[in-house]
A and B are shown apart, each in its own frame.
Chain A
Amino acid sequence: MFCDDGLSQHFQIQGGDFSRAGRVSTTIKEILQEVGIDPAIIRRAAIASYEAEMNVVMYAQKADLTLKLTPEEITIRIEDQGPGIKNIDQAMQEGFSTATDQMREMGFGAGMGLPNINRNADVFWIGSIRGKGTVLIITFLLKKGGKA
Chain B
Amino acid sequence: MSPYLHFLKIEPDKCDGRMKCMRVCPTEAIRVRNGKAQIIEEKCVDCGECITACPHGAIVALTDPFGELTRFRHTVALPSPGLHAQFGKEILPQKIVAGLKHLGFDDAFDLSLTCGEVSFAIQEYLRDYNGPKPVISNACPTVVRLIQVKYPSLIDQILPIDTPRELAARELKAKKAKRLGLKEKEIGTFYLTPCPAKMISIRQPAEKGRSSLDGAISISNIYGPLLSALEGVEKDSYEKDLKNICILGMGWAMSGGICRTLRIKNSLAVSGIHEIIKVFDDIEKGKLRDIEFIEAYSCHQGCVGGSLTVENRYLSFNKVLKLIETLEYEKIKACPDIREVRKKYEEGYYFMKGKLEPRPLKPLSEDLSEAIRKRREKGEIYEKLPKIDCGACGSPTCMAFAEDVIMRDSVITDCIFNLPQKFEKLSEEFSSMLEKSISMSGVQSPKKKNKDKKGKP
Contact = CB atoms under 8 A, between A and B. Distances in A.
A142 B365 CA distance: 16
Given A29-B284, A107-B287, 19 more contacts: A5-B369, A7-B375, A22-B281, A26-B285, A33-B150, A34-B363, A36-B362, A36-B363, A36-B368, A39-B153, A39-B358, A40-B153, A43-B284, A46-B284, A47-B285, A50-B286, A50-B287, A71-B368, A142-B368
Main secondary structure of the interface of B (DSSP, over half): helix
Nearest to A36: B363
A71 B369 contact: yes
Contacts of B374: 35
A9 interface: yes
A46 B154 CA distance: 13
A61 interface: no
Task: With a 10 A CB-CB cut-off, give which of A35, A43, A71 has the most chain B CB atoms.
Answer: A35
A106 to B, nearest CB: 11
A43 B244 CA distance: 44
A31 B375 contact: yes
A80 interface: no
A134 interface: no
Interface residues of A, number: 27
Interface in A69-118: 69-71, 107, 116
B152 A39 contact: yes
A46 B287 CA distance: 11
A34 B287 CA distance: 23
30 contacts: A6-B376, A7-B373, A7-B375, A9-B379, A22-B282, A22-B285, A26-B281, A33-B360, A33-B361, A34-B364, A34-B378, A35-B363, A35-B364, A35-B371, A35-B374, A36-B362, A36-B363, A36-B368, A36-B371, A39-B358, A40-B153, A46-B284, A47-B284, A47-B286, A50-B286, A51-B286, A70-B372, A71-B369, A71-B372, A142-B368
A85 B378 CA distance: 37
B340 interface: no
Nearest to B379: A9
A70 to B, nearest CB: 7
B366 interface: yes
Contacts of A56: none
Interface of B: 150, 152-153, 281-282, 284-287, 358, 360-366, 368-369, 371-376, 378-379, 403
B372 A69 contact: yes
A3 B100 CA distance: 67
A20 B408 CA distance: 32
Task: With a 10 A CB-CB cut-off, give which of B285, B361, B365, B376 has the most chain A CB atoms.
Answer: B285
A42 B285 CA distance: 10
Nearest to B403: A34
Contacts of B285: 22, 25-26, 46-47, 50
Nearest to A72: B368
Nearest to B377: A7
Given A33-B361, A34-B363, A43 B153 contact: yes
Nearest to A25: B285
Nearest to B290: A107
Given A22-B281, A29-B284, A35-B363, A42 B153 contact: yes
Contacts of A42: 153
B399 to A, nearest CB: 9
A25 B376 CA distance: 18
A7 B363 contact: no
Nearest to B285: A50
Interface in A108-143: 116, 142
Contact of B286 (A6, A9, A36, A116): A116
Nearest to A8: B376
Contacts of A43: 153, 284
Interface string A9-41: 100000000000010011001010111100110
Contacts of A40: 153
A25 B375 CA distance: 17
A22 B403 CA distance: 23
B275 to A, nearest CB: 15
Contacts of B368: 35-36, 71, 142
A25 B285 CA distance: 8
A7 B379 contact: yes
Interface string A47-77: 1001100000000000000000111000000
Contacts of B153: 39-40, 42-43
